[in-house]
Amino acid sequence: MLASFSVVPMDGPGGVSKLIAEALKIVDASGLPYELGPMHTTIEGGLDEVMDVILRCHRRVLELAPRVLTSITIDDRRGATGRLQGKVHAVEQILGKPLRPMQK
């Protein structure tokens, strides 16, 4: 399954980058395939392991901020694996060209 999620600290002072970095430490340490985007993170794995990572991210940020808004979008397709890149490649095939990757 793929899960796209964002954990947004609320009601805290200053920027949120340091708090988001704390959540990404959890995602990275999970060993699951993921992609970090400017507005969300997408992670791939089994339901239980993906939801565990997301909940640990939510709880960690809640330890650091008085309020947290977490949103999750799930794409659960039986037997499908490698969808993190596979979905992008499918669109690129239809277009007949690679799409621009995120700039680093």
For the chain, the C-alpha Rg in angstroms (whole number) is 15
pLDDT band at 45 (very low <50, low <70, confident <90, very high): very high
Of 39, 51, 36, the C-alpha closest to 84 is 36
List own/partner pairs for 12-16 with CB under 8 A and 24 or more apart.
12/64, 12/65, 12/66, 12/67
Q: 81-103: per-residue pLDDT in tens? A: 888 888 888 888 899 898 876 55
- Give the SS3 label for residue 70: strand
Looking at the domain covering 2-95, what would its CATH class be? alpha beta
Q: What is the pLDDT of residues 6-15, one digit of tens each?
A: 999 998 777 7
Q: What is the pTM of this model?
A: 0.85
**SS3 (DSSP) at 73:** strand
Average pLDDT, rounded, for the chain: 91
DSSP codes, 38-53: SS-EEEES-HHHHHHH
The residue ranges of every structural domain in the chain are: 2-95
Interval 47-76 mean pLDDT: 96
Written as six digits, the tokens of 67 are 């309020």
